[in-house]
Structure 1
Amino acid sequence: MERRTLLRAVALGGTSAALGGTLWRGAAYAAPAQPGAGPYGALGSPDANGIRLPSGFTSRVIARSGRTVPGTSYTWHSAPDGGACYADGTGWIYVSNSEINPSGGASAVRFSATGAITSAYRILSGTRTNCAGGKTPWNTWLSCEEVDRGYVYETDPWGARAAVRRDAMGRFKHEAAAADPVREVIYLTEDVTDGCFYRFRPAAWGDLSSGTLEVLVAGTATSGPVTWSRVPDPTGATATRDQVPGAKRFNGGEGCYYADGMCWFTTKGDNRVWQYDAAAQTLDLAYDDSLVTSGTAPLTGVDNVTGSASGDLFVAEDGGTMEICVITPDDVIAPFLRVEGQSASEITGPAFSPDGTRLYFSSQRGTSGSSSGGITYEVRGPFRS
């Protein structure tokens, strides 16, 4: 057993005893996903775009950094990162952040019902290092600044309304956001090695101008019940993660995705996918690369995450082998695609079209390894519904 695996096993099995067995389940945790045969089969040879896909799937490039988006006069931004899709009549829109500083912001590409690109345009300007973010139920895009005391900006995917800075959502090194319409909160991740997991409770659902920022409070184990405490000063004059005693630490918060009462989020420092059960208010590990019991861990460098109608999670790698891996509802993890020849890049922004037949994502630095070399892709095929 590797040292890191041993240390985590001790943490999983020993913490409940240290806490008297009342706060945490310790060893009685939900088993993290294990490698197995994926629902889409083995990856084929690289296609013309250097993408290895299962049988029945195809890829196309929809945009390249520094070049005009095909069929438009709009120049695509550098370092494409977090993204989401929005229904637009019979077509749809894909939005994408730009993780550069200064002048990060976000852009959008609009598609017709047939998937043809009809326009592309800027939806956010003058911001810094816009990494990930999240879609709201009222069809806005929350673009998050991954800088010290960064902000969340609420943007319009159609580009008709000016973006609005949402100060009440806190100032910290923001990464991703996910909306929970049942409990009427927005979950937020923080990309620092001793970061926290937050939720923002708006004073009125659908209006992010005011509300309460809370931080998850728990023990040091990886599984068990949790509570939430108000962050006294969301302005970050004192780091938000240091204001509440007992706030649980997470090593490099990344992607965040909510569906059916569960919020999944990733931490890159320890290659974990976490599962927060919002109804039960419990935390579990959905995946941990050091707890893979046989073979080689298929997912490392965990980053952005999204889900499909079937309940499958799709987790992108920052580095690793440049894969998007799928975690099925029965806890099997397998590669879904691999990008070849781009080892100095990372996969970002996975998001499904509204009908679930197309998956969008970017290689942030493409083949060049530079933020000016980003490539945004579409994968089309028989995704499970």
Structure 2
Amino acid sequence: MNTFNPQRRKLLQYGFMGLGAFAGNALLPSAVQSAASLAGLGELFPPDRNGVRLPAGFTSRIVAHSGQKLFDYRWHAAPDGGATFAAPDGGWIYVSNSELDKQAGGAGALRFNSQGDIADAYPVLSHTNRNCAGGHTPWQTWLSCEETDTGRVWECDPFGRQAAQVRSALGVFRHEAVAVDTQNKQLYLTEDQPDGCLYRYTARTFDAAGNPNLDDGVLEVAEVIDGRIGAVRWHTLPDPLANTTTTRKQVASSTRFNGGEGIWYHHGIVYFSTKGDNRVWAYDAHRQHLSILYNAASYLLPVLTGVDNITGNAAGELLVAEDGGDMQIVVLTAGKVLPLLQLVGHDRSEITGPALSPDGSRLYFSSQRGKTGRAEDGMTFEISGPF
């Protein structure tokens, strides 16, 4: 399904107003009023030479193909979760996971100079398994998550100077993604299982800069007390390393989420997606209350399905990538759901790793398996425009 019918958008927006199921006004805070908003996006034009449909004013380029030699690094196959980091010279770095198994996974980085040219490429993690998504930390590291039954989280230096370190205190399970609550200095983690859970990590100790120790803390699992939404209670996991019992089965009252995927923190709210039921959730960390932000099942013709990786902009809007669906990145903004872009001819792939550059002017993402559906044919894109 690689066509977008403008009438679908109109029907969907009328559906929001009629059913009231999209809680964007209440749960997508516009905390930075001066930040650029994507609420005024226009219709998508026909695909450009790179096969990307974009609104007026936006352009695309392909910055890397899987197997392409870039400096001394061959860009990895199956590019997945990603994030960007500011560099001291005014440039930036895009880090991308490789979701290969049998110790063939890891993560690589593209370094851009201040003009946006690729200045270097290198690995930041090697010989790990099915590195799916992960998370950017405020102390400028990349947390790369292994999506296996014995998966762990690896902390990586995006500059490639320090060796990656496993952070077993963050649990052993089928990890998907991580988000850091910068106010409470806690980490939230999703689990990609049909009966997966939502986890929270709280450090016992902190370094001199006030950053949490990822080797010394408490891992908890969420229970939504009144069912699917409402007040949340947290339970300490008795065996976070899963030495005797599978992590998600250790607390009988923990709430199950159908295929935890991307997760993002913004101004007190933790947003995460579940692909199995096409939902985006919003957890208010201060109130300890969970709500459903978006539910595709509420609409006859939902624009957003196959919800997967999530990122956000300074205005508090969410950019949600589709695994399947119409192969789009879709913006959730107050009262609206708007396609930002669409890949044409990538039906056997998924969109992964959306991340805005540190200044918010460019968007990076990958088609994990390209047009052929093979991991070795992944493609990584850059979108420029009025973000």
Tell me the TM-score normalised to structure 1 length: 0.88
- Give the whole-Å Cα distance in 1 for the aligned partners of 2:171 and 2:228: 25
Letter in 2 for 1:175: E
Cα deviation 1:4-38 (Å, max 9, x = unaligned): xxxxxxxxxxxxxxxxxxxxxxxxx983258xx95
Map of 1:322 onto structure 2:
327
Letter in 1 for 2:145: C
Query: Aligned in 2, Cα 1:251/1:220: closer, same or farther, shift over 3 Å?
Result: farther
Cα deviation 1:39-98 (Å, max 9, x = unaligned): 2111011001000000000000010001123xx242100000000000002010000000
Shift of 1:296: 1.1
1:123-272 → structure 2 map (5 Å cutoff)? 123-205=124-206, 206=211, 207-219=213-225, 221-237=227-243, 238-272=245-279
Cα deviation 1:319-357 (Å, max 9, x = unaligned): 1110000000x1311111000001000000000000000
- Give the whole-Å Cα distance in 2 for the aligned partners of 1:245 and 1:101: 31
Cα deviation 1:220-267 (Å, max 9, x = unaligned): 633211111101100113111111121010000000000100010000
1:224-373 → structure 2 map (5 Å cutoff)? 224-237=230-243, 238-292=245-299, 296-328=301-333, 330-373=334-377
- Give the whole-Å Cα distance in 2 for the aligned partners of 1:109 and 1:279: 36
How many residues are paired up?
A: 348
Conserved 8 A contact 2:21-2:298: no
- Give the whole-Å Cα distance in 2 for the aligned partners of 1:121 and 1:270: 37
Map of 1:51 onto structure 2:
52
Identity of aligned residues (%): 53
Letter in 2 for 1:221: G
SS, match of residue 40 in structure 2:
coil
Conserved 8 A contact 1:150-1:173: yes
CA-atom RMSD in angstroms: 1.5
SS, match of residue 290 in structure 1:
helix
- Give the whole-Å Cα distance in 2 for the aligned partners of 1:45 and 1:220: 46
Cα deviation 1:178-210 (Å, max 9, x = unaligned): 001211111000000000000111122422111
SS, match of residue 321 in structure 1:
coil
- Give the whole-Å Cα distance in 2 for the aligned partners of 1:136 and 1:166: 13
1:65-84 → structure 2 map (5 Å cutoff)? 65-69=66-70, 72-84=71-83
Structure 1 residue runs of 4 or more that deviate by more than 6 Å after TM superposition:
none
- Runs of 5+ unmatched residues, structure 1: 1-28
Conserved 8 A contact 1:30-1:285: no
Letter in 1 for 2:369: R
- Runs of 5+ unmatched residues, structure 2: 1-18, 25-37
- Give the whole-Å Cα distance in 1 for the aligned partners of 2:226 and 2:256: 8
Conserved 8 A contact 1:352-1:360: yes
- Give the whole-Å Cα distance in 1 for the aligned partners of 2:110 and 2:65: 12
Letter in 1 for 2:372: S
Query: Aligned in 2, Cα 1:221/1:30: closer, same or farther, shift over 3 Å?
Result: farther
- Tell whether 2:38 aligns with 1:32: no
SS, match of residue 69 in structure 2:
coil
Map of 1:62 onto structure 2:
63
SS, match of residue 172 in structure 2:
coil
- Give the whole-Å Cα distance in 2 for the aligned partners of 1:279 and 1:345: 38
SS, match of residue 334 in structure 1:
strand
- Give the whole-Å Cα distance in 2 for the aligned partners of 1:197 and 1:152: 15
- Give the whole-Å Cα distance in 1 for the aligned partners of 2:268 and 2:381: 30
Worse-superposed segment, 330-339 or 56-65: 330-339
Letter in 2 for 1:31: A
- Give the whole-Å Cα distance in 2 for the aligned partners of 1:130 and 1:220: 34
Conserved 8 A contact 2:92-2:114: yes
Cα deviation 1:292-317 (Å, max 9, x = unaligned): 2xx51001110000001111100000
- Give the whole-Å Cα distance in 1 for the aligned partners of 2:126 and 2:268: 34
SS, match of residue 372 in structure 1:
helix
Conserved 8 A contact 2:225-2:233: no
- Give the whole-Å Cα distance in 2 for the aligned partners of 1:143 and 1:51: 28
Conserved 8 A contact 2:225-2:231: no
- Give the whole-Å Cα distance in 2 for the aligned partners of 1:337 and 1:219: 38
Conserved 8 A contact 1:33-1:332: no
SS, match of residue 56 in structure 1:
coil
Conserved 8 A contact 1:99-1:131: yes
Conserved 8 A contact 1:108-1:122: yes
- Give the whole-Å Cα distance in 2 for the aligned partners of 1:248 and 1:32: 22
Map of 1:24 onto structure 2:
none
Conserved 8 A contact 2:72-2:122: no
Conserved 8 A contact 1:33-1:333: no
Map of 2:28 onto structure 1:
none
Query: Aligned in 2, Cα 1:204/1:39: closer, same or farther, shift over 3 Å?
Result: farther
